[in-house]
Amino acid sequence: MAIHCVRPDISGEFRNPFDCDELIVKALVTVSAFVALADGQLDAIERDEAVNYIERQQLAPTISRARIAEFFDARARDLEDRDFADLIAEALRPVAALSLTFDVLRIALLVAAADRRLDPNEVQVVSLIRLISAPPAGPNAVNVDRPPVYWAD
């Protein structure tokens, strides 16, 4: 399901960092690059799967396919070169507000399976993304008397 935001209809380049399409691409491409790098190598098919998903679902119609691919490559370099925790947290911050949780998990799974093999590190990263992007639990969901139970695939 495409997300519709009120904004001028300008195609192509990234503009205002608060633009809805840019936030969507930033979140989805960051997740995709994170999963793609989990097995230690970045395959072009993984990038193509992410770009295809964003285009097929029409999640960012104002941003060109080539620009999404460029942003994926840049984000992958950023994740390799820096402490990635801040990048992931920043990119996933608007996911709930944009109703992107389903798309974040779906694209993570598609990228993990794109090369037809699931590396254990990719599965672990997908599980982490699932935890990070899950809606927050209510105040009664935490039991301070017991240690936390972590969900794993």
What pLDDT sits at residue 18? Answer: 43
Higher pLDDT, 49 or 10: 49
Take residue 135 and report the two structure tokens written for it.
Answer: 């809606």
Containing 50, the helix (H) or strand (E) segment is helix 44-56
The residue-averaged pLDDT of 38-66 equals 94
Is the pTM above the cut of 0.85?
Answer: no
104-122 pLDDT tens trace: 999 999 999 999 988 999 9
Take residue 134 and report the two structure tokens written for it.
Answer: 């899950």
The residue-averaged pLDDT of 47-74 equals 95
Lowest-pLDDT range, 13-27, 41-55, 61-75, 101-115? 13-27
Other C-beta atoms closer than 10 Å to the C-beta of 93 total 13
CA distance linking residue 98 with residue 13, whole number of Å: 21
- Asked if residue 133 lies in contact with residue 92, where contact means CB atoms within 8 angstroms, the answer is yes
- Asked if residue 126 lies in contact with residue 108, where contact means CB atoms within 8 angstroms, the answer is yes
